Amino acid sequence: MRSLNISWGISYPRNQTGWDPLNDLNRILGNEQIKEFFYSSIAHNKISHAYIFEGEKGSGKKMLANAFSKILQCRGEGTKPCGKCSSCLQVDHHNHPDVIWVTHEKANVISVGEIRTQVINTVDIQPYKGPYKIYIIDEAEKMNPSAQNAILKTIEEPADYAVIFLLTANRGAFLPTVLSRCISLTVKPVPVSLIRRHLTDRLGIDPGMAEFYAGFSMGNVGKAMAIAGSVEFNEMREHALELVRHFHEMEDYELDGRAKECRVYKDRIREYLDIIRMWFRDILIWKTTGDQERLLFRGDFPVLCRQAERLSLASLSRIFDHLGETDRQITANVNFEAAMDLLFFAVRRLFSPS
Ligand SMILES: [Zn+2]
């Protein structure tokens, strides 16, 4: 068994069977600084009462909060988390009595009532089982000002055993008083190469596809895993690729047809547009660097090359402008099909004759 030996002598075993591979700190990809920070806090017994984890959706905030909770609550002997004791198992299954995931009913707001009933009214009750009582509030930016003010008191005068994790995509939404009382940690994008290796080595995904998922996720592990496992995404990817591969030779009726078919992907249209963007980004990279290794769609290299010959840098720049404009139109609720139609025709026009 290989071990990750931390300088202060705590040993965190790896590859131990029976562990949830996603929930242990040492198995979370990237973000070494945050992990080191946790290990150090635990080793020096300096656990703070309130942490903010900021990072985009899918960046791993929940996994980090879960992993840290597990280490704090572990009742096992030796290395922590042991991964086997009832505490560890309960944290993993989200049913540990002292690790409370705060829930909210309305999609866009966490109300003061929800903070009161789930946090403030329970925090004075001693932990049932673990040494700590941990509250995890996901999408904490949705706490309205009164909810934030309510939790502030708990953060300012915490019970010894209380630890609060505020997970957020936007710490700017917190009141300055909340911000000043929390330790803020930024969850950063994970290097694409690490995600790619994770997808191929651990999940057995074909290297070419892993390259695409990792690159497309822009360092967001959650997103990479979600799209890798999504039939819907992969169908959409194929649809978008069939379009871009033949853009330069498509007839009007074919472009119209494609625009109509896109309606199926309306809910994920930004990802659809991103696939198109990545395709032309590959052409741009190929034209400017000649580095085939950096291309996401290496499998389509001959087609990329052919299109590269027919697109000037100025044309590519126009394509990116059109894609941005389509994003804006969709946000502004312009007729969906018309916006896609406009985009497809505009892009085709930019190819010079062969
Ligand atoms: Zn344990």
* pLDDT, tens digit, 9 for 90 and up, residues 245-271: 999 899 999 999 999 999 999 989 999
- The pLDDT value recorded for residue 10 is 28
Res. 56 pLDDT band, cuts 50 70 90: confident
Amino acid 322: pLDDT: 95
CA of 5 to the centre of ligand 1 (A): 18
Q: Which residue has the higher pLDDT, 110 or 331?
A: 110
Alpha carbon of 182 to ligand 1 centroid (Å): 27
Ligand 1 midpoint to CA 245 (Å): 52
| β pairing state of 3-5 and 50-54 | unpaired
Give 232 Cα–ligand 1 centroid separation in angstroms. 37
Flag whether pLDDT at 38 surpasses 90.
no
- CA of 78 from ligand 1 middle (Å) equals 9
CA–CA separation, 255 and 252 (whole Å): 5
Q: Could you tell me the distance, in angstroms and rounded to a whole number, from the CA of residue 204 to the centre of ligand 1?
A: 29
pLDDT at 114: 96
Beta bridge partners of 200: none
Q: From ligand 1's centre to the CA of 7, what distance in Å?
A: 21
Q: Would you say residue 171 has pLDDT above 60?
A: yes
Does residue 25 surpass a pLDDT of 70?
no
Instruction: Evaluate whether 173 touches 141 at the Cβ level (below 8 Å).
Output: yes
- CB-neighbour burial class of residue 318 (10 A; exposed 0-12, middle 13-18, buried 19+): middle
- Mean pLDDT check: name the lowest of 20-24, 116-120, 139-143: 20-24
Contact 143, 164 (CB under 8 A): no
- Please report which confidence band the pLDDT of residue 27 belongs to, taking 50, 70 and 90 as the band edges: low
Whether residue 20 has pLDDT greater than 70? no
Q: Quickly state the pLDDT bin for 288 (edges 50, 70, 90).
A: very high
Ligand 1 center–CA 87 separation, angstroms? 6
Q: How far is the CA of 69 from the centre of ligand 1 (A)?
A: 11
Looking at residue 9, its pLDDT comes to 26
Query: 136 CA to middle of ligand 1, Å?
Result: 19
- Give pLDDT, residue 141: 96
